[in-house]
Chain A
Amino acid sequence: EVQVVESGGGLVLPGGSLRLSCVASGFSFSGYWVTWARQAPGKGLEWVASTNEDGRVKQYVDSVKGRFTISRDNAMNSVFLQMSSLRAEDTAVYYCVSEYKSGHWGQGSLVTVSS
């Protein structure tokens, strides 16, 4: 069975850090670009970051550049999002999705930034 599972979300103080993990099973992440997207409460989807198949190419939305880092470990079939200097406006459900012929989404991980 194909599954994508995100974890690592939670409540964090403004200025704090969190590391999200995304683990795939039933298929290999290694052949695909993987994207992190987020959805604030009641809002649409927003692209956050993407990385290519071997992790050498990384790109970020302007609002998270310098604060978030995407990485991957193909041996562990995993992609990560290290988030630092978190702000209230980063509060959202964070999803990872494999692109192209894969097209699999996780169920999301809620990140709440609040004092």
Chain B
Amino acid sequence: QAVVTQEPSLTVSPGGTVTLTCGFSTGAVTSGHNPYWFQQKPGQAPRTLIYDTTNKYSWTPARFSGSLLGGKGALTLTGAQPEDEADYYCFLLFGAARVFGGGTKLTVL
């Protein structure tokens, strides 16, 4: 099954901007992979932030946005807040199969 890659860790300053990416081992990530992004804080269940590349939920803070960037899925956080410190996972669809990325540990410091 496909290998989906993410940066293991990133650091952003409070108020700063950071982009997390989601790559695919043998090609480009496209809208056909319907990229999702999930946030997970310690001791909590994950929650979905983005579906189908760019779409947000009612609970998704406006400072998060999804896109495709240079053949990868991307999650951009603009104006980082301390409460955004968490693990972030992307999720790609390959027909009926799915794959999670390895996760990015985002530190706000």
Which residues of A are interface residues toward B (Cβ below 8 A)? 35, 37, 44-47, 50, 52, 57-59, 61-62, 95, 97, 99-101, 103-108
Contact = CB atoms under 8 A, between A and B. Distances in A.
Contacts of B100: 37, 44-47
A59 B97 contact: yes
Contacts of B91: 47
B43 to A, nearest CB: 11
Given A45-B89, A99-B51, A100-B52, A105 B96 contact: no
Contacts of A99: 36, 51
B96 A95 contact: no
Interface string B48-73: 10011001010000000000000000
A95 B51 contact: no
Contacts of B57: 103
A106 B96 contact: no
Contacts of A61: 1, 97
B96 A59 contact: yes
A50 B98 contact: yes
Contacts of B97: 47, 50, 59, 61
